[in-house]
Structure 1
Amino acid sequence: MTGPVIVGADDSATTGDALALGQWAATTLDVPLIVAVVHPAPSAIGSGRVDAEWIADRHQAAERVLASARATLGDPPNVDYRVVASSSAAHGLHDLAEHENAVLLVVGSRSTGPVARLFAGSTAERLLAGSVCSVAVAPAGMTIAPGSHGRIGVAYVDTPDGRAALATAARLARRTHSPLLLVTVVARADAAVPFMLGTDAERAFLDTARESYEDALRKAADSVPDVDVSWELRSGDVVETLADLADVDVLICGSRGYGPARRVLLGGVSTRLLRRACRPLIVVPRAD
């Protein structure tokens, strides 16, 4: 992996969380860091001088955001600061990531969300609807710095996008010398199948499902060389159980298992995790 980590910055309070996560990721992966601010591009049907003055004002505001980001990071080496003109923040970051062959896009969550929980705003959600690279979202008011737990979590299911998440997590684990925790969540007995099937049929269904999931987790763990991998099969609501996984540095999940190859395209679980996770969430593109 040689492309940069890109952090999308703005004037919100959550930019500091995104910068902390982006700096950790760039240092871990030993790649450059780009901090980018997107401001509006001139309109093709703008009103001349008024439009030009407004664009100039937005450009100056973007430069102030970059100056603040530089101060927050301490102006370390190997960090580039960019002002990007585009029709939207998500569009501008998408284009920059594609042009730079980025390995990761990092943004903060909505500042009005619960502290230490994700609550993705419109930019994060739009980034996660077709990004060419993995996208990371940092919880608002991140109280525990990335790298503190020394363990990487993977929301694992035996599907192409689940295996893509595992491959990304394994690369990160080798870089950090961290163990992996693979977690699969199955529904509780009272929510697994309709009650009219009967308790015996329900019990048989659950036993078969658990055996299948355990076998998939075991095989997934064995498929990752040179990494300490453990796995857990948990019961409960899938989103709530994964969102409460607090003792990991990051939680990595796949995107929806269909849609354009090598693009992020959110599914039901990953979309809802964006609004609940208490640790940084990384969503990876589906495999080719």
Structure 2
Amino acid sequence: MTLVVGYAPGARGQAALHLAAMLARSAGDDVVVASVVPAPWVPGMARVDGEYHQQLDDAADRALDRAKELWPDGVRATYVRHRARSAPAGLLEIAHQHEASMVVLGSSSAGVFGHVALGSVTDRLVHSSTVALALAPRGFRAARDARVTRVTAAYGGSSSAEQLVVAAASVAAQVGAAMRVASFAVWRRPAYTTALGTDSEDLVLREWTDQVRETAHSAVAQVEGLAFAPHDLELVIGSGRSWAEAVEDVGWDDGDVLVVGSSELGPVAQVFLGSRASKIVRHSPVPVVVVPRARAEELAERAARTGTP
């Protein structure tokens, strides 16, 4: 398979390169490092138009030369400059040309360091991409021999969430990684001056947790029934007074990747993040892979049928 990584000079571009190399090294994939250049408007008569676009081409070529210097040994990569009406459109065009399974992107420089932050390009793609997206936290760095060691699938309790878990498990097995199924609960307890009166709130949280564990067992059983399953599998539930606390509550290590699925309200063939998934993505301290529902269904069906991803 092939990964496309959108590269632009700066820390954001380096984070995307580090993540793409880790993912490709884990799965044995090829990588296309791409620099997208704005396509010209209707050709003008003035020579300055040509000079301006030549400057853009030269800048893109210099960026790709820098990417070559940063790229680690042992991972196959090619480098392309591509003209398109916009960066998101250009990256998807390259992905389709190379039949890529994923587009890898960095976070906005305006976001919180160490967390995923959506910029103009990533925000558009997480609501329109027809291929999976991998998002690197701001400032993400990985060792030159780093691999994915654990895959965490965000589970929301729907049938499509079960398919996402099976799809993520098949990929985890392929790369030799452990597997977690994770649900998150945000619970804002009223600011009582004593513990009196909080028992009902605690009871609701316990009942919700028990219900999630019960429904998640179906997804876990499907994973355990795969002919080619991850070597380790666990179910975890994170809770907190905010999404940041709930996501952090499950604990994260180097080599972790979080997988989330598209909302059932969006197009089947495209990525479309719902409100809960968006909050989880924005508070993730590890790389996030966002999978279109159709792609998750395809991977899950293939894993159940053949035992391979």
Please give the TM-score of this superposition, normalised by the length of structure 1.
0.86
C-alpha displacement at 1:147, in angstroms?
4.7
Q: Kindly provide the CA deviation profile for residues 75-102 of structure 1, in whole angstroms up to 9, marking residues without a partner as x.
A: 6563111111011111100122123221
What amino acid maps onto 1:284 in structure 2?
A: V
Question: Which position in structure 2 is the counterpart of 1:165?
Answer: 164
1:196-207, aligned counterparts within 5 Å? Answer: 205-207=204-206
- List runs of 5+ in structure 2 lacking aligned partners: 191-196, 298-309
Question: Which position in structure 2 is the counterpart of 1:125?
Answer: 123
Question: Which position in structure 1 is the counterpart of 2:279?
Answer: 272
C-alpha displacement at 1:132, in angstroms?
1.1
> Distance in 2 between the 1:48 and 1:202 partners?
70
Question: Which position in structure 2 is the counterpart of 1:25?
Answer: 23
1:158-237, aligned counterparts within 5 Å? Answer: 158-188=157-187, 190=189, 205-224=204-223, 225=226, 226-227=229-230, 228-237=232-241
User: Which range is displaced more, 103-112 or 242-251?
Assistant: 242-251
> Distance in 2 between the 1:202 and 1:41 partners?
56
1, 8, 18: which one aligns with 2:6 = 8
Question: Does 2:247 match 1:242?
Answer: yes
Look up the SS of the partner of 2:189 in the other structure: helix
> Distance in 1 between the 2:109 and 2:149 partners?
27
Aligned length: 280
248, 251, 263: which one aligns with 1:256 = 263
CA RMSD after TM alignment: 2.6
**Quick one: structure 1 residues 161 and 52, their matched pair in 2 at CA, closer, same or farther if it must change by over 3 Å?**
farther
**Quick one: structure 1 residues 44 and 79, their matched pair in 2 at CA, closer, same or farther if it must change by over 3 Å?**
same
What amino acid maps onto 1:91 in structure 2?
A: A
Question: Which position in structure 2 is the counterpart of 1:281?
Answer: 288
> Distance in 1 between the 2:171 and 2:146 partners?
11
> Distance in 2 between the 1:143 and 1:126 partners?
24
Please give the TM-score of this superposition, normalised by the length of structure 2.
0.81
**Quick one: structure 1 residues 144 and 42, their matched pair in 2 at CA, closer, same or farther if it must change by over 3 Å?**
closer
Question: Which position in structure 2 is the counterpart of 1:195?
Answer: none
C-alpha displacement at 1:53, in angstroms?
1.4
Look up the SS of the partner of 2:57 in the other structure: helix
45, 53, 56: which one aligns with 1:55 = 53
> Distance in 2 between the 1:9 and 1:54 partners?
21
**Quick one: structure 1 residues 98 and 167, their matched pair in 2 at CA, closer, same or farther if it must change by over 3 Å?**
farther
User: Which range is displaced more, 45-54 or 214-223?
Assistant: 45-54
> Distance in 2 between the 1:208 and 1:77 partners?
47
1:21-170, aligned counterparts within 5 Å? Answer: 21-44=19-42, 46=44, 48-74=46-72, 78-143=76-141, 145=143, 147=146, 150-170=149-169
C-alpha displacement at 1:167, in angstroms?
3.2
- List runs of 5+ in structure 1 lacking aligned partners: 192-197
> Distance in 1 between the 2:78 and 2:157 partners?
38
Q: Kindly provide the CA deviation profile for residues 222-269 of structure 1, in whole angstroms up to 9, marking residues without a partner as x.
A: 211322210012322573222564226111111211222121011112
